[in-house]
Structure 1
């Protein structure tokens, strides 16, 4: 009788090894899926925003994340921008709050 029990245990171990390989394979596929669907697009978007922040210069027309539209008057080295909303109003904002650069001349058509 003990002879049959040992054979049953041996066959159970070989099938569990096969299951562990398939489990590892499924986890790798799952992690790759998350990388390409979630992490990689987020990293690309962050890199594009960083490039936008580095390319901002004086007289660029920008829109902020809060919806302000204005012209850049001054860019400081510590990450702030002096934004002119109209002829009388200027606002100092952090560079990170600029959502996008709009084409030149758009501000004139809005006012």
Structure 2
């Protein structure tokens, strides 16, 4: 699979059904990782790379697969990987912040 499309309005359902995880890479933005460990990069030129804005606006985003030679240059210590539970917790925390404003 060369591309992954995520509708951030339904991000939790999308991650579950497509067996994906969000991957935040230090100084490089948001990626998606599949069960085989392949990384897909967000098309930054078209979309904000702020997770809260993507979810709030329900943006549909296309991620393009990175060549394996490029992913080898990303050290594990630079990655923060979020599965469904972490994304659900983020959404809950963010919702609480909005209610308290």
TM-score norm. by structure 1 comes to 0.20
TM-score norm. by structure 2 comes to 0.22
Higher strand share: 2
Structure ID, larger Rg: 1
Higher helix share: 1
Higher relative contact order (CA 8 A, sep 6+): 2
